[in-house]
Amino acid sequence: MTTQPSEPFSIPDELPRPGSVVVVAILVWIIALLNLAAAVAALVLAIQPGESELLYGAPVSDWVWYFNALLSFVLFLIYIWLGVGQLKGSAQAWMLVNVLMVINIFFALFQLFYGTGFAAILFCLIVLLLNNMRRSKPYFMSHLPPEIKAQIMAAQEQAAAANAAAAAVAARQAAEAQAAQAAAAQAQAPAPSGEATPPPAQQPPTSSPPA
């Protein structure tokens, strides 16, 4: 049985931006704005006089709020960069969005029964679904640098050559095994019934010597 040769792997040239990528960029910017709002709220709590600010019902120092404000502002900058990268077709932005959404889902599991756990998981799943749609990944692949495309093509060609060599070896071994089985079966087959077997040779009669 012959198999049809598979189409050679190729990375397309720069594809137009699909709508799902635009939606992901907007959602990522919404996350950035939420982090900016969290940074501002933490900064407001930090500059309040006294040490009466509460975190989970316990009083905390102003430095906790300063740290939260700094962390939220850094996340704001990261998400802004990711949104811009999505629109530019950056493969690094595509990968980091997936990684951050998985991390957010993991931490949201601890908030399923209070807070916004279910909403956060649903939001992250929507972003993951849109970011990995059928037309999204080819768009990011098409915007890879030329040297990266050349490396991927070379690796794909080497893998295809190795698969073809392995398939040829397997086919030759299968043909040799079939030939050996056919030869063994032919050697063990009985003679056809239409052919008569020759009678055994008769001994000439021997005469006894006279008395």
Give the angle 164-168-169 at the CA atoms, nearest 5°.
120
pTM above 0.75, yes or no: no
Q: Are residues 75 and 124 in the same domain?
A: yes
Report how many domains make up the chain.
2
Please check the confidence at residue 208 and state whether its pLDDT lies above 70: no
- Please give the span between the terminal C-alpha atoms of the chain, in angstroms, as a whole number: 84
Output the pLDDT for position 83.
Answer: 92
Higher per-residue pLDDT: 196 or 127: 127
Model confidence at 104: pLDDT above 60: yes
Task: Write out pLDDT tens, residues 127-178.
Answer: 999 988 888 888 887 777 666 656 666 677 777 778 888 888 888 888 888 8
Tokens found for residue 153: 């093509």
Is residue 117 one of the residues assigned to a domain?
yes
83 and 112 within one domain: yes
Q: Which phi and psi (to 5°) does residue 203 adopt?
A: -80, 140
Long-range contacts at 150-159 (CB < 8 A, ≥ 24 apart): 152/11, 153/9, 153/10, 153/11, 156/9, 157/9
Which of the four pLDDT bands, split at 50, 70 and 90, describes residue 2?
A: very low
Pair (151, 140) in one structural domain: no
Same domain as 176, residue 131: no
Q: Is residue 160 part of a domain?
A: yes
Region 59-76 average pLDDT: 81
Classify residue 80: in a domain, yes or no. yes
pLDDT for res 151: 61
